[in-house]
Amino acid sequence: MALLLSYAAATVAALFCIMYFFHRRACCRYPLFTDYPILGMLPQLLFNLSRFHDFFTEILKEKGGTGEFTGPWFTNMNYLFTSDPLNVRHVMSTSFHNYVKGPVFRDIFEVLGEGIAATDSEAWKYNRDLIHYLFKQKKFEVFLEKTIHKKIKNSLLPVLDHVHQQGSVVDLQDLFNRFTFDNLCYSVNGHDPNCLSVDFPEVEIEKAFNDAGETIFRRHVVPKCVWKLQKWLQIGQEKKMTEACKNLDEFIYACIASKRKNLSKCIEKNETEETSDVDLLTTLMREGKEKGEEHDDIFLRDTVFNFFVAGRDAVTSALTWFFWLVATNPLVEAKILEEIKETFGRNEKKAEVLSVEEVKKLVYLHGAICESLRLFPPIPLERKEALKSDVLPSGHGVNPSTVIMFFLYSMGRSEEIWGEDCMEFKPERWISEKGGIVYVPSYKFVAFNTGPRTCLGKGVSFIQIKMVATAILHKYRLQVVEGHVAKPNLQTFF
């Protein structure tokens, strides 16, 4: 009897597995690659993890730009990957209200709280309107230009001078991470931590950002039940995440407490706007008081954290890849320098740091930066979740709760979008015959997102990149260490 029961149980289990196997086959109509029993497509992904960006680019090209990824059975790690610009426009603009960040995103990106990057509907709109108001303050624009100018002149160039005198090698990504973090701290909180100095001090808060970014990526490729268990047990990468979040929160809440104290003193002294701080945190607090909508510490924490996430990695990545591309394309470097000389004369005593209005005149430089962002977008993946069933322009069906992953890195390497020379670094593709900037629809060039969620800091980012680029190229010639292989960092999914 026991033997018959065991046989019956095995038969039922086998039938269940077979039925589930065919069910997955029916649900996954456009597989990206081999769907193994039980493990799904995860083995092939993990095997190619070290070349994740190029691996998916090659696969998407083979599949016509869109395909499905299914994870291990019963893990719900199912994504629809696409690099089709028409799909991007449909989801991000045409059917914007049907596609949201969703609860899965907020679970993975819990560190973002209720900030603009993680919210939907009215909460997102409120955050966006508020940030748009802050960025449009003329006094903040002036303050920001002075902040960038001062950091380049007093920190960035002296550090590079020191490196040059020592004849040593410098990690540009680390250099720009420090530069961007100092700038963000001062423009957001009014405090410069001086991470960028000749001794390159170890900064705990910087390490916390990196640990959080790595954990965010791992949560995308590890089954939810696994990372949730690690989080509960406080082991592995999730333990690092907990420690990172603790350090980040302590840092931000300390800044908020300090600002509240300073703002109270300013109000007591009736200090005028002209003499008060204009950093974003102070402006946000002051604006809340004036409107009778004083924001609590949690709201301020989430807003500040989202500022750091949006500004730090984007500018760091853009600057690092820009200088790598320029250093490996000497003709482009020569043309940028020639444009600077032709625009501002050949006076070698020209100011080391150009102003905002001056860098806006450099068309070829703008094209080179766009080209860099095309090939190496700061955020290579953008995700959305469907609320209702839909059909994409590519013909692929979408069910409720389907997670769509736009692979921006792959889009920048698409012959259909950019032509047969899409792998070449050609700033000229951005310049018209009349010498102006060529307009490219944002759903094709998605470095700063597209549709209603287009990045509000796009203009600020371009200005910062241009000011740094001209200051460095005016004074130095950069060279890539012989034999060094540069490749995208997996942590840039943060």
Binding residues: 455
Tokens for 347, please give them. Answer: 């006076």
Cα 131 to Cα 153: distance, rounded to the nearest angstrom = 28
User: Is 82:406 a contact under the CB 8 Å cutoff?
Assistant: yes
Task: State how far the alpha carbon of 478 is from the alpha carbons of 104, 168, 326, 417, 427, in Å.
Answer: 43, 12, 8, 31, 19
Residue set of the binding site for heme: 455
CB 295 within 8 A of CB 203: no
The strand pairing partners of 70, in sequence order, are 78
Measured between alpha carbons, how far is 55 from 410 in angstroms, rounded to an integer? Answer: 10
Please state at what angle helix 236-268 crosses helix 224-233, rounded to 10 degrees.
70
- Residue 38: C-alpha distances to residues 9, 21, 221, 417 (Å): 19, 9, 15, 37
What distance in Å separates the CA atoms of residue 410 and residue 400, rounded to the nearest whole number? Answer: 25
The DSSP bridge partners found for residue 384 are 404
Structure tokens at 218: 């791992």
Report how far apart, in Å, the C-alpha atoms of 276 and of each of 100, 189, 223, 258, 266 are.
Answer: 39, 13, 49, 15, 7
